[in-house]
Amino acid sequence: MKGAFEGKVAIVTGGTSGIGYAVSEELLKRGATVRVIGSRKESVEKAKAALGKYKKAAFEAVDVRDYAAVEKMVADCVAESGRIDYLFNNAGISQKNPYEKSTLADWKEMIDINLWGVIHGVNAALPVMQKQKSGHIINTSSVAALYGTPYQTLYVATKNAVIGLSDCLYYEYLQKNIFFTVVCPGDVATPIFKGQIPEGAVPVEEAAQIILTGVEKRERMIVFPDLMKEVLEKCKDPVFRDLMHKNSEMESRLVFASPEYQEFLAGQKRR
Protein backbone atom coordinates (compact mmCIF):
# COMPACT_ATOMS: atom_id res chain seq x y z
CA MET A 1 0.00 0.00 0.00
CA LYS A 2 1.30 3.46 -0.91
CA GLY A 3 1.79 5.52 2.27
CA ALA A 4 0.73 9.15 2.56
CA PHE A 5 4.31 10.43 2.43
CA GLU A 6 5.67 8.27 -0.39
CA GLY A 7 6.82 10.43 -3.32
CA LYS A 8 6.06 13.66 -1.40
CA VAL A 9 8.43 16.55 -0.82
CA ALA A 10 9.06 17.91 2.68
CA ILE A 11 11.18 20.54 4.39
CA VAL A 12 11.94 20.10 8.10
CA THR A 13 13.48 23.07 9.92
CA GLY A 14 15.31 22.02 13.07
CA GLY A 15 15.76 18.72 11.23
CA THR A 16 19.33 18.27 12.43
CA SER A 17 18.44 17.38 16.03
CA GLY A 18 15.79 15.92 18.34
CA ILE A 19 12.18 15.83 17.16
CA GLY A 20 12.94 17.30 13.71
CA TYR A 21 15.71 14.78 13.11
CA ALA A 22 13.41 11.86 14.01
CA VAL A 23 10.60 13.26 11.83
CA SER A 24 13.08 13.69 8.92
CA GLU A 25 14.32 10.11 9.22
CA GLU A 26 10.80 8.69 9.48
CA LEU A 27 9.69 10.68 6.40
CA LEU A 28 12.73 9.36 4.49
CA LYS A 29 11.91 5.80 5.57
CA ARG A 30 8.38 6.33 4.27
CA GLY A 31 9.66 7.37 0.83
CA ALA A 32 9.52 11.18 0.98
CA THR A 33 12.14 13.58 -0.36
CA VAL A 34 13.29 15.57 2.67
CA ARG A 35 15.24 18.82 3.00
CA VAL A 36 16.84 18.66 6.44
CA ILE A 37 17.54 22.12 7.86
CA GLY A 38 19.66 23.33 10.78
CA SER A 39 21.12 26.76 11.48
CA ARG A 40 24.74 25.69 12.08
CA LYS A 41 27.03 24.16 9.46
CA GLU A 42 28.31 21.61 12.05
CA SER A 43 24.83 20.33 12.91
CA VAL A 44 23.99 20.08 9.20
CA GLU A 45 27.20 18.13 8.50
CA LYS A 46 26.45 15.79 11.42
CA ALA A 47 22.92 15.13 10.15
CA LYS A 48 24.29 14.59 6.64
CA ALA A 49 26.74 11.97 7.94
CA ALA A 50 23.86 10.09 9.60
CA LEU A 51 21.03 10.56 7.08
CA GLY A 52 23.07 10.86 3.86
CA LYS A 53 22.48 7.13 3.28
CA TYR A 54 18.93 8.03 2.23
CA LYS A 55 19.06 8.97 -1.46
CA LYS A 56 16.14 11.40 -1.15
CA ALA A 57 17.73 13.47 1.63
CA ALA A 58 19.10 16.98 1.04
CA PHE A 59 20.75 19.21 3.64
CA GLU A 60 20.99 22.96 4.04
CA ALA A 61 22.13 25.43 6.71
CA VAL A 62 19.42 28.08 7.08
CA ASP A 63 18.85 30.47 9.96
CA VAL A 64 15.07 30.77 10.23
CA ARG A 65 15.48 34.32 11.57
CA ASP A 66 16.64 35.40 8.10
CA TYR A 67 13.67 35.75 5.72
CA ALA A 68 15.83 35.92 2.58
CA ALA A 69 17.50 32.63 3.61
CA VAL A 70 14.11 30.98 4.27
CA GLU A 71 12.80 32.17 0.88
CA LYS A 72 15.93 30.67 -0.73
CA MET A 73 15.36 27.40 1.19
CA VAL A 74 11.88 27.11 -0.33
CA ALA A 75 13.11 28.19 -3.80
CA ASP A 76 15.93 25.60 -3.68
CA CYS A 77 13.43 22.89 -2.75
CA VAL A 78 11.12 23.81 -5.64
CA ALA A 79 14.07 24.06 -8.08
CA GLU A 80 15.38 20.61 -7.09
CA SER A 81 12.17 18.71 -6.36
CA GLY A 82 9.53 20.65 -8.31
CA ARG A 83 7.21 21.30 -5.38
CA ILE A 84 6.75 21.37 -1.61
CA ASP A 85 4.07 19.20 -0.02
CA TYR A 86 4.98 19.54 3.66
CA LEU A 87 6.76 22.28 5.56
CA PHE A 88 7.57 21.43 9.18
CA ASN A 89 8.33 24.73 10.97
CA ASN A 90 9.95 22.89 13.86
CA ALA A 91 13.16 24.84 14.66
CA GLY A 92 13.00 26.30 18.15
CA ILE A 93 14.81 27.12 21.36
CA SER A 94 13.60 26.85 24.95
CA GLN A 95 14.01 28.87 28.12
CA LYS A 96 13.45 28.18 31.80
CA ASN A 97 14.45 30.78 34.36
CA PRO A 98 12.84 33.33 36.69
CA TYR A 99 11.31 36.21 34.72
CA GLU A 100 13.47 38.89 36.35
CA LYS A 101 16.55 37.13 34.97
CA SER A 102 15.26 37.39 31.38
CA THR A 103 16.65 40.30 29.39
CA LEU A 104 15.15 42.09 26.40
CA ALA A 105 17.88 40.43 24.32
CA ASP A 106 16.54 37.03 25.51
CA TRP A 107 13.02 38.12 24.49
CA LYS A 108 14.26 39.16 21.06
CA GLU A 109 16.11 35.90 20.42
CA MET A 110 13.11 33.84 21.54
CA ILE A 111 10.66 35.79 19.37
CA ASP A 112 13.03 35.87 16.37
CA ILE A 113 13.53 32.09 16.31
CA ASN A 114 10.29 30.66 17.73
CA LEU A 115 7.82 33.09 16.17
CA TRP A 116 9.46 34.95 13.25
CA GLY A 117 11.01 31.62 12.18
CA VAL A 118 7.50 30.18 11.79
CA ILE A 119 6.13 33.33 10.10
CA HIS A 120 9.05 33.28 7.65
CA GLY A 121 8.37 29.65 6.77
CA VAL A 122 4.64 30.25 6.30
CA ASN A 123 5.15 33.34 4.12
CA ALA A 124 7.78 31.69 1.94
CA ALA A 125 5.85 28.43 1.40
CA LEU A 126 2.29 29.72 1.00
CA PRO A 127 2.70 31.26 -2.50
CA VAL A 128 4.15 27.96 -3.77
CA MET A 129 1.39 25.92 -2.14
CA GLN A 130 -1.29 28.26 -3.48
CA LYS A 131 0.12 27.85 -6.98
CA GLN A 132 0.16 24.07 -6.52
CA LYS A 133 -3.35 24.25 -4.98
CA SER A 134 -2.16 21.94 -2.22
CA GLY A 135 0.18 21.77 0.74
CA HIS A 136 0.45 21.22 4.47
CA ILE A 137 2.30 23.39 7.00
CA ILE A 138 3.06 21.88 10.41
CA ASN A 139 4.10 24.32 13.15
CA THR A 140 5.64 23.12 16.40
CA SER A 141 4.33 24.70 19.60
CA SER A 142 4.30 23.02 23.03
CA VAL A 143 1.86 21.82 25.69
CA ALA A 144 3.54 24.41 27.92
CA ALA A 145 1.65 27.01 25.86
CA LEU A 146 -1.72 25.53 26.72
CA TYR A 147 -1.68 26.51 30.40
CA GLY A 148 0.33 28.91 32.54
CA THR A 149 3.85 27.59 33.04
CA PRO A 150 5.89 29.61 35.54
CA TYR A 151 9.53 30.31 34.63
CA GLN A 152 8.86 29.82 30.91
CA THR A 153 7.19 33.16 30.09
CA LEU A 154 9.26 33.98 26.99
CA TYR A 155 8.96 30.49 25.56
CA VAL A 156 5.23 30.19 26.29
CA ALA A 157 4.50 33.64 24.83
CA THR A 158 6.05 32.63 21.49
CA LYS A 159 4.56 29.13 21.46
CA ASN A 160 1.12 30.57 22.30
CA ALA A 161 1.42 32.85 19.30
CA VAL A 162 2.30 29.84 17.14
CA ILE A 163 -0.95 28.15 18.24
CA GLY A 164 -2.92 31.33 17.49
CA LEU A 165 -1.52 31.84 14.01
CA SER A 166 -1.85 28.15 13.12
CA ASP A 167 -5.47 28.07 14.27
CA CYS A 168 -6.43 31.16 12.24
CA LEU A 169 -4.66 29.90 9.13
CA TYR A 170 -6.19 26.42 9.51
CA TYR A 171 -9.65 27.89 8.95
CA GLU A 172 -8.53 30.48 6.39
CA TYR A 173 -6.89 27.93 4.06
CA LEU A 174 -8.99 24.80 4.69
CA GLN A 175 -11.13 25.38 1.60
CA LYS A 176 -8.02 26.02 -0.50
CA ASN A 177 -6.62 22.52 0.07
CA ILE A 178 -3.80 23.89 2.21
CA PHE A 179 -3.72 22.42 5.71
CA PHE A 180 -2.26 23.73 8.94
CA THR A 181 -1.40 21.58 11.93
CA VAL A 182 0.03 22.72 15.25
CA VAL A 183 2.03 20.17 17.24
CA CYS A 184 2.02 20.47 21.05
CA PRO A 185 4.45 17.97 22.53
CA GLY A 186 4.92 17.31 26.23
CA ASP A 187 8.44 16.32 27.27
CA VAL A 188 10.35 14.59 24.47
CA ALA A 189 13.88 13.26 25.11
CA THR A 190 16.03 15.64 23.02
CA PRO A 191 19.16 17.80 23.40
CA ILE A 192 16.88 20.79 24.15
CA PHE A 193 17.10 19.69 27.82
CA LYS A 194 20.91 20.00 27.74
CA GLY A 195 21.42 16.55 29.25
CA GLN A 196 18.73 16.92 31.98
CA ILE A 197 16.06 14.77 30.29
CA PRO A 198 12.90 14.67 32.45
CA GLU A 199 11.83 11.25 33.67
CA GLY A 200 9.12 9.78 31.47
CA ALA A 201 10.04 11.92 28.43
CA VAL A 202 8.78 10.44 25.15
CA PRO A 203 11.55 8.90 22.97
CA VAL A 204 12.05 10.92 19.74
CA GLU A 205 11.21 7.97 17.48
CA GLU A 206 7.84 7.59 19.23
CA ALA A 207 7.24 11.36 18.96
CA ALA A 208 7.91 11.21 15.20
CA GLN A 209 5.39 8.37 14.77
CA ILE A 210 2.72 10.27 16.73
CA ILE A 211 3.34 13.48 14.77
CA LEU A 212 3.25 11.81 11.35
CA THR A 213 0.09 9.86 12.25
CA GLY A 214 -1.60 13.16 13.13
CA VAL A 215 -0.28 14.91 10.00
CA GLU A 216 -1.50 12.03 7.84
CA LYS A 217 -4.99 12.52 9.35
CA ARG A 218 -4.65 16.30 8.80
CA GLU A 219 -5.35 16.91 12.49
CA ARG A 220 -5.61 20.59 13.44
CA MET A 221 -3.75 20.07 16.72
CA ILE A 222 -1.56 17.16 17.85
CA VAL A 223 -1.11 16.93 21.63
CA PHE A 224 1.00 14.16 23.17
CA PRO A 225 1.64 12.12 25.27
CA ASP A 226 -1.92 11.12 26.25
CA LEU A 227 -1.23 12.12 29.88
CA MET A 228 -1.01 15.74 28.68
CA LYS A 229 -4.49 15.49 27.13
CA GLU A 230 -5.73 14.46 30.59
CA VAL A 231 -3.86 17.38 32.22
CA LEU A 232 -5.40 19.83 29.73
CA GLU A 233 -8.88 18.48 30.33
CA LYS A 234 -8.41 18.82 34.10
CA CYS A 235 -6.97 22.35 33.66
CA LYS A 236 -10.48 23.52 32.71
CA ASP A 237 -11.12 23.32 36.46
CA PRO A 238 -9.51 26.35 38.19
CA VAL A 239 -8.96 24.25 41.33
CA PHE A 240 -6.73 21.89 39.32
CA ARG A 241 -4.89 24.81 37.72
CA ASP A 242 -4.10 26.14 41.20
CA LEU A 243 -2.84 22.70 42.15
CA MET A 244 -0.61 22.62 39.05
CA HIS A 245 0.76 26.09 39.88
CA LYS A 246 1.39 25.17 43.49
CA ASN A 247 3.42 22.26 42.19
CA SER A 248 4.94 24.13 39.26
CA GLU A 249 8.28 22.43 39.83
CA MET A 250 6.58 19.05 39.81
CA GLU A 251 6.08 16.99 36.67
CA SER A 252 2.41 16.45 35.72
CA ARG A 253 2.88 12.72 36.21
CA LEU A 254 3.81 13.34 39.83
CA VAL A 255 0.94 15.80 40.33
CA PHE A 256 -1.45 12.93 39.54
CA ALA A 257 0.29 10.80 42.15
CA SER A 258 0.27 13.48 44.88
CA PRO A 259 -2.02 13.49 47.98
CA GLU A 260 -3.22 16.98 46.88
CA TYR A 261 -4.59 15.42 43.70
CA GLN A 262 -6.56 12.85 45.73
CA GLU A 263 -8.00 15.76 47.76
CA PHE A 264 -8.86 17.55 44.50
CA LEU A 265 -10.72 14.45 43.23
CA ALA A 266 -12.60 14.10 46.53
CA GLY A 267 -13.49 17.81 46.35
CA GLN A 268 -14.75 17.38 42.77
CA LYS A 269 -17.08 14.61 43.94
CA ARG A 270 -18.41 16.80 46.77
CA ARG A 271 -19.04 19.77 44.45
Active site residues: 155
Which neighbouring-strand residues pair with 137? Answer: 87, 180
Do 57 and 243 form a contact (C-beta atoms < 8 A)? no
Alpha helices by DSSP H, listed for 18-139, are 18-29, 41-51, 67-81, 104-110, 117-132
The binder of ligand NAP chosen from 92, 121, 214, 225 (CB under 6 A): 92
Vertex 72 angle, CA 69 and 73, to 5°: 85
Q: How far is the CB of 44 from ligand NAP (least distance, A)?
A: 7
Q: How far apart are CA 207 and CA 77, in angstroms?
A: 25
The binder of ligand NAP chosen from 33, 43, 149, 166 (CB under 6 A): 43
- For the chain, what's the residue count? 271
User: Which residues, 180 to 239, sit near ligand NAP by CB under 6 A?
Assistant: 185, 187-188, 190-192
- Binding span for ligand NAP by CB under 6 A among 3-11, 12-20, 122-130, 257-265: 12-20
User: Burial level of 66, CB count in 10 A (0-12/13-18/19+)?
Assistant: middle
Q: How far is the CB of 185 from ligand NAP (least distance, A)?
A: 4
Give the H/E segment covering residue 229.
helix 226-234
Confirm or reject binding of residue 48 to ligand NAP (CB under 6 A): no
Tell me the per-residue interface mask from 108 to 137 with ligand NAP, x by CB under 6 A, - otherwise. Answer: -----x------------------------
Confirm or reject binding of residue 93 to ligand NAP (CB under 6 A): yes
Confirm or reject binding of residue 142 to ligand NAP (CB under 6 A): yes
Report the interface residues with ligand NAP, using CB under 6 A: 13-14, 16-20, 38-40, 43, 62-65, 90-94, 113, 140, 142, 185, 187-188, 190-192
